[in-house]
Amino acid sequence: HLPNFAPDLAGAAPADRAALGVPADALFVLTMGRLHPNKGFDVLIEALAHLPDVVVAVAGEGEQRAALTALAQQRGVDGRVRFLGWRDDQARLLAACDLFVCPSRHEPLGNVVLEAWSAARPVVAASSPGPAELIAHGTTGLLVPVEDARALADAIAALRDHPARARALAEAGRVTFRREHAEAPVLARWCG
């Protein structure tokens, strides 16, 4: 098959973490997408209950906004979830975050994974079809079972607790992006 390419988001100035409500000592986790059940943001909110030093920013909007806000309140994590709405500064958000999470139940490709790789951010993803095809578990990211909030929390904690491993995953993701998913190599495959 012929892959998509994603824009190269490396080198952007980071968004102001304080303006996003992220304390300096917190692990800043970013996720992006339409607020829809397929995206699994509820699973990430459930995982957050096991991660007291983590702040999650959700960049996106959609029909699940009220339900996700209520779930965050119910689980007692609403003070650590930032619903950012639709954003056009993905590169700046990625540059500011410590870790990118794709908790999707259904994700045909995973452009957000490619964007995170392009920005050299470590990735944790649910093993839905797209991310499972893209990510080499333990090399270019971490994969966890779909719908498993505890496994997602454990993977986030593992990278929080081992920053060198997180950096290695981010570097390998960036290399994979440049080799396989940037514009030039994809267009070469299209034309080949």
3-state helix, strand, coil in the chain (%, to 5): 45, 15, 40
Instruction: Please write the tens of the pLDDT for every residue from 103-127.
Output: 999 988 889 999 999 999 999 999 9
Q: What is the pLDDT of residue 1?
A: 45
Q: Is the pTM of this model over 0.85?
A: yes
Q: What is the pLDDT of residue 187?
A: 52
CA separation for the pair 113, 106 (Å, rounded): 14
- 186 — pLDDT class (breaks 50, 70, 90): low
For residue 165, give the amino acid letter: R
Q: What is the pLDDT of residue 185?
A: 57
- 184 — pLDDT class (breaks 50, 70, 90): low
Strands in 99-188 per DSSP E: 99-102, 123-126, 142-144
CA separation for the pair 71, 51 (Å, rounded): 16
